[in-house]
Amino acid sequence: MFFVSLSKPSREQEAAVCRKGQSGGFNYGCPGASQRAPPLPESVDREGWWAVDHQRIKIGYGRKTYAATKDLLSSWGQFQLPWAAVAADTPLEAGGPVCVAANVFGLWTAVPLQLLYKQEGNWREGAAAGGGRGGKRRHGRAFSYACGCLSTHYLAGEERFKVEWDKTDDSVWYDILTYSRPAHPLAFLGYPVVRALQGRFRSDSARSVARAAALGAVERSMDAKTRARLAAAESLED
């Protein structure tokens, strides 16, 4: 049974939720398949029906925006929302536990996941690499990681977060890919609500990431003197 409370779970409660989930392992086969999606690999499709959601939005341009967004994702910035959270100091290490706390209709839930992989590298696609978007050769750099649902989660599946810098036109994109299905009777009964919450998270996190990436890129563009003046002004306001 998953965690439900009137108050936000403590770090100790989150740790207990993760230990329970990890003791039972993943609640679906082929963890890590999001690394090769979209589309989903045949090995995942053979497991049966999945709800697949893929959202990709442009959040800016250039190296500074990419670096700022990578830093944000590295500290779970996409989850720093009024109604959903992952502790910012949760280690971004493959095999490590991740607890997502969410407030749904006044009740707090806490569900366990496990970090499946973290990767960063250059990419290339186009005529010489299997076809690219718009028929053009494209290249760039991407940082991504994914989390998979553990045994006491009310959903099965995984979610991938990625920031991609397309050096062909200097654009930077935030990308979320999820494939999931109910894994608990309550999730089946309340599936329309579950789907609505998934959509809300995609929208809210995308807006949060875009806003934070823009601010982060501006801060990275400041020289040392400008940063010092800004810090002094902020201290006077306090």
Instruction: Specify the higher pLDDT residue, 46 or 92.
Output: 92
With a pLDDT cut of 90, the percent of the chain lying above it is 72
Q: Is residue 212 part of a domain?
A: yes
Asked if the structure places residue 143 within a domain, the reply is yes
More confident residue, 43 or 140: 140
Residue-wise pLDDT tens digits, 116-141: 999 999 999 875 444 555 567 899 99
Q: pLDDT averaged over the chain?
A: 88
Distance CA 231, CA 118 (A): 34
In-domain check, residue 77: yes
Check: CB of residue 114 under 8 Å from CB of residue 147: yes
Model confidence pLDDT, tens digit, residues 29-39:
889 999 888 88
Residue 230 has a pLDDT of 46
Three-class SS of 23-40: HHCECCCCCCHHHHCCCC
CA 210, CA 185: separation in Å to the nearest integer? 36
Position 107 in a domain: no
Can you tell me the mean pLDDT for 185-199? 94
Dig out the tokens for 107 from the structure: 């009740």
45 compared with 7, residue with greater pLDDT? 7
Cα dihedral value 121, 172, 36, 25, nearest 10:
90
Asked if residue 16 has pLDDT above 70, the reply is: yes
Cβ-contact 175, 33 below 8 angstroms: no
| Range(s) of the domain holding residue 64 | 23-90+115-232
Flag whether 7 is in a domain.
no
Q: Residue 130's pLDDT is what?
A: 47
Each residue's pLDDT tens digit, 54-68: 999 999 999 999 999
Q: How many domains would you assign to the chain?
A: 1
Q: Assess whether pLDDT exceeds 70 at residue 238.
A: no
What is the model's pLDDT at position 233? 54
pLDDT higher than threshold 80 for residue 2: no
pTM value? 0.86
Q: Looking at the domain assignment, is residue 14 inside a domain?
A: no
Residue bearing tokens 């993943």: 26
Q: Kindly tell me if the per-residue pLDDT of 75 is higher than 80.
A: yes
Strands 3-5 and 97-104: unpaired
CATH number at residue 211: 3.30.530
Q: Which of 25-34, 40-49, 149-158 has the lowest mean pLDDT?
A: 40-49
Instruction: Quote the CA–CA distance of 194 and 180 in Å, as a whole number.
Output: 11
Residues forming beta bridges with residue 107, ordered by sequence position: 104
Whose tokens are 């995308």? That residue is 206
- Beta pairing partners, 26: 150
**13 domain residue, yes or no:** no
